[in-house]
Amino acid sequence: MLLGQVKLTIVSDGVFWLDGGAHFGIVPRVLWEPLIVPDDRHRVPMGLNCLLIESAGKRILVDTGLGDRLSAKRREMLNLERDRGLVGALEQVAVAAEDIDIVINTHLHADHCGGNTHLNEHRQAVPTFPRAEYWIQRLEWADARYPNERTKGTYFSENLVPLEEHGQLRLLYGDTPVTEEVRCMVTRGHTRAHQSVVIRSQGQTAIYLGDVAPWKENIERLAWTPAGDVEPLDTIETKRALQQWALEEEVLLIFEHDPRITAGYLRQHGDKLEVEPVNLE
């Protein structure tokens, strides 16, 4: 779709399945199960909706999914479903890996940056997008390079180190403009330096939320925060500000993990907030 003069395209790396308790956190199953029925292993589907932004002559890719270096055990655990993967999805819209100018990682959990690298003919991890500069918040990079007992299961060096080794890493220090129409905005909570991507053009605004609100319910309901949020109380306050902004300025919300809708506008209906879905085609 066009947002003003900016072209936005969802490029999917597939769907994986995550434990329902991990996604919904402290929300009891009796409340979330009417929204989506889990499988026989208590998992719910999670989209890998990456975003291609074409602005000011730049092709900008936001997040890179799980990538193609997963072990058979991990693929089975995640029940990963995909037709062609992220690079194949880009090729479907006539964009090659070599055409990407900038990759923005909202954060460095493996389902958001696993496609940063791939294995070359020598079985070495190298950047998937050979011309791209990878934009990552400095604090997020530090947390990922020195994980703790809780985070080491999702921060993997093979997704990160090759970017630095090949001179393709750019570390950010807070909110940062990308083009005149695109900027990175820190949305703290899921991680200490999680960032979302804001697009503004010709009076229209959109935000790619990343994991500050993976599904529409996460922005409709402040208390619904995933178990993986390292600072859930900060997530609530970040979402509170985003809710107000989205309502006041008619901001298009783009969801990274929602398997049912990829985008929509937040609407007030009495004392409830609901996302009105929009087709990005």
> How many domains is the chain partitioned into structurally?
1
Domain containing 21 — which CATH number?
3.60.15.10
**Distance in angstroms (rounded) separating the CA atoms of residues 280 and 106:** 20
The pLDDT, as a whole number, for residue 281 is 72
Assigned token pair, 109: 């959990």
Q: Give the pairing of strands 176-177 and 182-186.
A: antiparallel
**Distance in angstroms (rounded) separating the CA atoms of residues 86 and 88:** 5
Range of the domain at 88: 2-277
The pLDDT, as a whole number, for residue 244 is 98
**Contact assessment for residue 116 and residue 146, using Cβ atoms and an 8 Å cutoff:** no
Q: Is the pTM of this model over 0.95?
A: yes
Per-residue pLDDT of the chain in tens (281 residues, 90 and over written 9): 999 999 999 999 999 999 999 999 999 999 999 999 999 999 999 999 999 999 999 999 999 999 999 999 999 999 999 988 999 999 999 999 999 999 999 999 999 999 999 999 999 999 999 999 999 999 999 999 999 999 999 999 999 999 999 999 999 999 999 999 999 999 999 999 999 999 999 999 999 999 999 999 999 999 999 999 999 999 999 999 999 999 999 999 999 999 999 999 999 999 999 999 998 87
The pLDDT, as a whole number, for residue 38 is 96
Half-sphere exposure of 182 (CA within 13 A, CB side): 27
Helix (H, G, I), strand (E, B) or coil at 96: coil
**Contact assessment for residue 11 and residue 52, using Cβ atoms and an 8 Å cutoff:** yes
**Contact assessment for residue 189 and residue 234, using Cβ atoms and an 8 Å cutoff:** yes
